[in-house]
Amino acid sequence: MCWLLGGIAFLIAGYFTYGKLIEKFLAPGDNPTPAVARPDGVDCVPLPMWKNMLIQLLNIAGVGPVIGVIAGIKFGKISLLIIPAGCVLLGAAHDFIAAMASIRMNGANLPGIIRSTLGRRYSAVFSWFMLVLLLLVVAVFINVPANLIDKQWLPQISFFWWAVGIIFAYYIVATLFPVDAIIGRVYPVFGGLLLIGSAAVLGAVVWSAFLDPSILEEGAEFLRYRREVFDADGRSPIFPLLFVTIACGIISGFHATQSPIVARTIRSEREACLTFYGMMIAEGIIAMIWSSAALAMYNIAPENLSLPPAQVLGKIACHFLGPWMGGVAVFAIVVLAITSGDTALRSSRLSLAEMLKIDQVKIMPRIMTCLPLVAVVAACLWWSNLSAKSFGHVWNYFAWGNQVLSASTLMACSVWMLREGKGMKSLVALLPGMFMIAVVVSFILWTSVDKGQPWGLVPGGMPVLLAVAVAIGISAVSAVFVVLRSRERIPLRR
């Protein structure tokens, strides 16, 4: 239990120390934000701080801090150390700095930030890569909640495709309507359900661990599974695989696609630290709660170790909370997925419009921009549901591509801070960026289908130590690229 409570305490302390240090470096002031300087009634709409906080939390907290950590805790209790440390030093810094860059660049989406900092050639490849990834996110975040609804609440009837249709229709409506018309109204309710569900799980796990401390230890069956199945033949190295498996609980490039949505609704730069850094800390707490609950569940019923994380989620909720309150907790996770999926589609629309220079104030251009995105998502949904294997491919490529976004975002943030005259202060972005480049490069050099992972660049995959060594070299070259880009004086404010 010390790992759980100590990790939560570290996350809270991290906000008031490292978070405030980064806030001091970024120096938010009285500069007019996009919502104040150029409100458009659709995307740039001033909202109160509490709404922005809940919108940001629900935008970024998809199924990653729940489904991801249920899988990630199989690496062992080391996950309960890496989640809080990674969240404070990597993820929260990533979200906060990217959001401030967007605010200072008049609400620019991630492709615009990348183009201004890393150059047009890098941006040309990155923008389309990001758009494809966002559409995979939308497909995943329709699929997962639809499956949870189908299997947890309506197991006697086949409701999956009905749930898919209802969720997808909501996504389209939420994408087309002004941000305050739907998202600004329903998110506070959803946020309350999320907080209630997570708090209930935390209380139940702490009480159960008080009665039996061994449930939060690595039991004999848990260790046997790790040795004989999970990590057999070196298939699950902590670095880099853990940082791909637990994305949203540690660091997620997807967040940088969501932060500009709130960067366009925030009323003052002074609200940014709590809204962006603080909400990532909140996500880290959610990740700590569910990873600890999963560890307890695996010790109580070791047969769950071989089940998919989504099924384990339902068993955790029912075991610790009972059928009724467990249903509320599962609904909170459904909400997590839905409230990330709708804004992922919205971010796709905004990014595509920015790339193609399509004005989004009037409804018809928004509809025309949205139509091809809807078609691609529908195709992804059809393909991902052909089999469990095809859905696994969608999830694996989303997880890997997600960290390509985080590495690129941190490189862009480093260039931005250096151009803003931050000097050595830019290390708060540069060092995490180099770390994530090492994660991404070593993963795609090491990974292979023989290891139960996506295809990589090397048939059969490199030995992990060689992959890491090569990745460190590429990370160093990337640092030089960042410094050289920062010396090109390109206007960052649009």
pLDDT in tens, 196-232: 778 888 999 999 999 999 999 999 999 999 988 888 8
Is residue 26 assigned to a domain?
A: yes
User: Span 266-274, mean pLDDT?
Assistant: 95
The least confident of 71-75, 129-133, 290-294, 488-492 is: 488-492
Angle at 113 between CA 111 and CA 119, to 5 degrees: 85
Cβ burial of 198 (10 Å; 0-12, 13-18, 19+) is buried
**pLDDT digit string (tens) for 115-168?**
999 998 898 888 888 888 888 778 877 877 887 777 665 556 677 888 888 888
Range of the domain at 49: 2-385
Quick check: 302 pLDDT over 50?
yes
Find the mean pLDDT for residues 447-464.
Answer: 83
Percent of the chain with pLDDT over 90: 44
One-letter-per-residue 3-state SS of the chain:
CHHHHHHHHHHHHHHHHHHHHHHHHHCCCCCCCHHHHCCCCCCCCCCCHHHHHHHHHHHHCCCHHHHHHHHHHHHCCHHHHHHHHHHHHHHHHHHHHHHHHHHHCCCCCHHHHHHHHHCHHHHHHHHHHHHHHHHHHHHHHHHHHHHHHHHHHCCCCCCHHHHHHHHHHHHHHHHHCCCCCCHHHHHHHHHHHHHHHHHHHHHHHHHHHHHCHHHHCCCHHHHHHHHHHHCHHHCCCHHHHHHHHCCCCCCCCHHHHHHHHHHCCCCCHHHHHHHHHHHHHHHHHHHHHHHHHHHHHHHHCHHHHHCCHHHHHHHHHHHHHHHHHHHHHHHHHHHHHHHHHHHHHHHHHHHHHHHHCCCCCCHHHHHHHHHHHHHHHHHHHHHHCCCHHHHHHHHHHHHHHHHHHHHHHHHHHHHHHHHCCCHHHHHHHHHHHHHHHHHHHHHHHHCCHHHCCCCCCCCCCCCHHHHHHHHHHHHHHHHHHHHHHHCCCCCCCC
- pLDDT value at 103 more than 90: yes
The stretch 356-379 carries a mean pLDDT of 85
Residue type at 231 in one-letter notation: D
Name the average pLDDT for the chain.
Answer: 86
What percent of the chain has pLDDT above 70?
A: 92
Report the distance separating Cα 242 and Cα 250, nearest Å. 10
**pTM (two decimals):** 0.88
Per-residue pLDDT tens for 420-438? 999 999 999 999 999 999 9
Q: Is residue 390 part of a domain?
A: no
**In this predicted structure, what is the pLDDT of residue 493?**
47
Neighbours of 340 (CB within 10 A): 26
Provide the number of structural domains found in the chain.
1
Predicted pLDDT at 179: 65
Please check whether residue 431 lies inside any domain of the structure.
no
Asked whether residue 477 is domain-assigned, the answer is no
CB 242 within 8 Å of CB 436 = no
CATH number of 152's domain: 1.20.1740.10
Contact 329, 317 (CB under 8 A): yes
CA gap 341, 374 in Å, rounded: 12
- The 10s digit of each residue's pLDDT in 390-425 is 555 566 677 788 899 999 999 999 999 999 999 999
pLDDT tens readout for residues 160-190: 888 888 888 888 888 887 766 676 677 667 7
Which of 90-99, 238-247, 339-348, 380-389 is the most confident on average?
A: 90-99
**pLDDT of res. 184:** 64
Predicted pLDDT at 155: 58
Q: What is the pLDDT of residue 492?
A: 47
Residue 427 lies in a domain: no
182 class by beta-carbon count within 10 Å (0-12 exposed, 13-18 middle, 19+ buried): middle
On whether residue 133 sits in a domain, the answer given is yes
pLDDT at 490 (0 to 100): 58
- 426 belongs to a structural domain: no
- Residue 203 belongs to a domain: yes
Contacts of residue 67, defined as CB under 8 A and 6 or more positions apart, other chains included, come to 144, 309, 310, 313, 333
